[in-house]
Chain A
Amino acid sequence: MHELSICQALLTQVTQITRTAGAREVARVVVEVGPLAGVEPGLLNSAFEVMRTGGCASHATLLIESVEIRVSCEICGLVSAAVANRLLCGHCGAYRTRVVCGEELRLLRVELRTVDPSRVLN
């Protein structure tokens, strides 16, 4: 359950961004998790639901965007789709490949909720 540690790091970053922007609270957090990041999206979501309580993200939703694994072949040079435990070239079958995407574990976007003073009457 290292998703708890990952979620803690996520909330620290989100809180800092919210503070810097001078916003009231967070509406939505968007992260990107590749299949090779070693993070289970479902567990990260559960961790977020528990750990967001009491902070600026306490009413925020978490959107986890997934990424497809793609490998670049060092033999034939082509890029192909792959699955986590079979990262071979889809064209020539070579095992000398480089993962082009699928390892991402990134915060992409924070959607903040701000009160627009021009639309509120005293």
Chain B
Amino acid sequence: MCRDCGCSVPPESPGQIVEVVQDLLAENDRVAAHNRGHFDDQGVLAINLMSSPGAGKTALLEATIVALQDRIRIAVIEGDLATDNDTVRIRSRGVPAVQITTGSACHLDARRVHEALHALPLAQLDLLFIENVGNLVCPAAFDLGQHRNVTLLSVTEGDDKPAKYPVIFRASDLVVLSKVDLLDVIDDFHPAKAAEALRSLGRETPMIQTAVRRRPAIGAWLTWIEAQLSARRGRYRRVSASRSLAMSPTSASGG
């Protein structure tokens, strides 16, 4: 019984206030860092590929695999709401592909990617593409452990997309204008306007152009990938060298 009025309801105390200040995505970020550790240990470059549905992510990957697979060991993680159509397309090019079917979830998160990693021969890879669910909003919030974010913007979309979806375009290390072979039949997409909208986000994000159908042109894209790979290889060699040095008996004995 309550001492103040005699009612049977226990009184509310002022309660306890717990000040926290912690990131809501702390758990996802922890798993993402763990994934990144796996990639770094095996010297794999991981690229998270994002775009709206139908911008040409899978088609660009197919062309990339054909161009690079003689020299670079590639695998793909495919995120899709439903169907494994894209995974089948990638596998038919002769590279390992793992499907993550997200159901109603509109994005990949670090845990789903971690589960997929165990189905991949990471030690035998140089380059892993993570093809995110087609969506320009949700994937931007979740770190997967990738080293680079790439966002495709097809010329059949608006050239103001960077202004409409600032979070994802700000998070991008590279923006790929895809389907540029259609520019001569599309009169309302101006690459310069897209570049200006991108620059207004306060980043000097590079923007390159690709086409894979009528007049294939993916040279700038391949050059960018090669540059990222050689930067990573240099870093991996340094890390491996310092590790083997640390494990050698002479340095362990301090001699």
Contacts and interface: CB of A to CB of B under 8 A. Distances in A.
A2 B18 CA distance: 26
A110 B166 contact: no
A37 interface: yes
Contacts of B17: 109-112
Do most interface residues of chain B lie in helix, strand or loop, or is the interface mixed?
mixed
A107 B105 CA distance: 23
B27 A121 contact: no
Interface string A9-37: 11011000100010100010001000011
Q: Is the interface of A mostly helix, strand, loop or mixed?
A: mixed
B18 A112 contact: yes
Contacts of B21: 106-108
Interface stretch (B3-11, B223-231, B239-247): B3-11
Contacts of A113: 12-13, 15
Interface residues of B, number: 45
Contact of A85 (B18, B200, B203): B200
A105 interface: yes
A87 interface: yes
Given A105-B24, A116-B11, 20 more contacts: A2-B137, A2-B141, A9-B25, A12-B27, A13-B20, A17-B18, A31-B24, A86-B200, A87-B200, A87-B202, A95-B200, A99-B202, A105-B23, A106-B23, A108-B21, A109-B19, A109-B20, A111-B17, A119-B4, A120-B3
29 contacts: A1-B106, A2-B141, A5-B105, A5-B109, A6-B141, A9-B26, A13-B26, A21-B16, A27-B15, A36-B166, A37-B167, A38-B137, A71-B202, A85-B162, A95-B204, A96-B202, A98-B202, A106-B21, A109-B17, A109-B18, A111-B15, A111-B17, A113-B12, A113-B15, A114-B13, A114-B16, A116-B11, A116-B13, A120-B1
